[in-house]
Structure 1
Amino acid sequence: MKKVSILNRILVLIASLLMISAYFTPLWQISLWAPQYPEGLNMKIWIDKLSGDVDIINGVNHYIGMKHIGVEMFPEFTYLIYVFGFIIAFGILTAIIAKKWAVYTFFGLIALLGIGVLVDMYLWGYDYGHNLDPTAAIKVPGMAYQPPLIGYKELLNFLAYSGPDIGGWILGVSAILAGLASVIEWRKK
């Protein structure tokens, strides 16, 4: 069985090491703009916490019956650090053992993580925007307040944005490098 090329071992190693940034940078952001908040409100989602204007967003969302946003809403925060750690360790091991199956598996793990996170965020956003308190001060019949998964969306007088933050972009580069290594190995057949 032929070993993985040195270039692909380096690509996998860089991809693995880039993933470490997830522990130190915000991965996702949700921003809101409205006439009363022209400077915008911003919530940053990290691997294990939230930061930004979460309290102000909670105050605004209370009027339309949305749940209080808090770390306790995200059980993912308790295990994502371990999932990332496993994938990082597997990537480093892949660079060391230099086996094709490991390169493909490493890329598969990153792809599954990305898909899983997006599905999880969509489901959370759906629940958050649709399951409203029926006793809320402001009710608009038929209106749902699901934030966008990626991109912009108008919600009443707010413009909402959701997308990757610096850590998310770095993870995207990591996935591209792992995918590139996989494609190069596959084409060598």
Structure 2
Amino acid sequence: MKKSGVLMIIGSALLLGLFIFPLWNIELEAPQYPDPLGMNIFIGGIQGEEEFDIQNIDGINHYIGMKKIPKPVEMWEFQTFPLVIGGMAALGILLGVLGFFKIISPNWFLAWLILMSVLGILGMYDFNSWLLEYGTDLDPKAIMKLTDAEGNPLNYKPPLFGSQKILNFTAHSYPETGAYLMFAGMLLTLVAWITGRNSVAARKS
């Protein structure tokens, strides 16, 4: 159980990287912008890749009626996600320590992983819902009112994952360093559970 406990501690601690590195990145490419406009999405807010990227994106969005990129105080997620990630990291480290000293069974590691997976799925669902609202809740007084062939307002929702053409822009949406650290941490906790389970089975045989 000592090895599995150490793996659990390391895997849980990797979540703390989300306080340093961005979770997701959305980048906009267009002929009139030699350097793409990009924004990095952290668990506590959104920052531009370059100094004026957010300002330029807001300027473009203004013409088609999209809202400005939200500040941290304008979204409850940016207040809640740091608490959730910090709490899950602390809980996982505690479970790893208890597992190291054989106080709990490795099934607690699996329970943590399941809970973290559920939270991750809910987080992605919430993120996609925000993208949908961001790209469809348009100001009716916008300078440019573009419609499709049937006369419906165009959908400017960026993709949740992958690339998509939006007017003369190509939007790219992909995980960033923080997401990879989180995935690696969850994978380590899975290995910790398997290792711990095998260790317990070996002692009983």
TM-score w.r.t. the length of structure 1 is 0.90
1:95 aligned residue: 96
* C-alpha RMSD over aligned residues: 1.7
Q: Is the 8 A contact 2:12 2:186 kept in 1?
A: no
SS at 1:57 equivalent: helix
Instruction: Look up the equivalent residue of 2:134 and give its one-letter code.
Output: Y
Q: Is the 8 A contact 1:27 1:165 kept in 2?
A: yes
> 1:38 & 1:111 partners in 2: Cα distance?
39
Aligned 1:99-178 pairs, distance under 5 A: 99-141=105-147, 142=152, 143-178=154-189
- C-alpha displacement of 1:7: 2.7
1:61 aligned residue: 61
Runs of 4+ in 1 over 3 A off after TM superposition: 182-189
How many residues of Structure 1 are paired with residues of Structure 2 in the alignment? 185
Instruction: Look up the equivalent residue of 1:145 and give its one-letter code.
Output: Y
Q: Is the 8 A contact 1:107 1:182 kept in 2?
A: no
Structure exhibiting the larger radius of gyration computed from Cα positions: 2
- Greater shift after overlay, 121-130 or 167-176? 167-176
1:38 aligned residue: 34
> 2:91 & 2:84 partners in 1: Cα distance?
11
Unaligned segments of structure 1, at least 5 residues? none
- C-alpha displacement of 1:132: 0.8
The reply on whether 1:51 has 2:58 as its aligned counterpart is no
2:70 aligned residue: 70
Instruction: Look up the equivalent residue of 2:93 and give its one-letter code.
Output: I
Unaligned segments of structure 2, at least 5 residues? 100-104
Deviations for 1:10-58, whole angstroms, at most 9, x for unmatched residues?
A: 2211111111111111111111000111310010111212111211111
The reply on whether 1:9 has 2:16 as its aligned counterpart is no
| Residue 63 to residue 183, structure 1, CA distance change in 2 (3 Å) | farther
1:180 aligned residue: 191
Which of residues 25, 37, 55 in structure 1 aligns to 2:21?
Answer: 25
> 1:158 & 1:73 partners in 2: Cα distance?
27
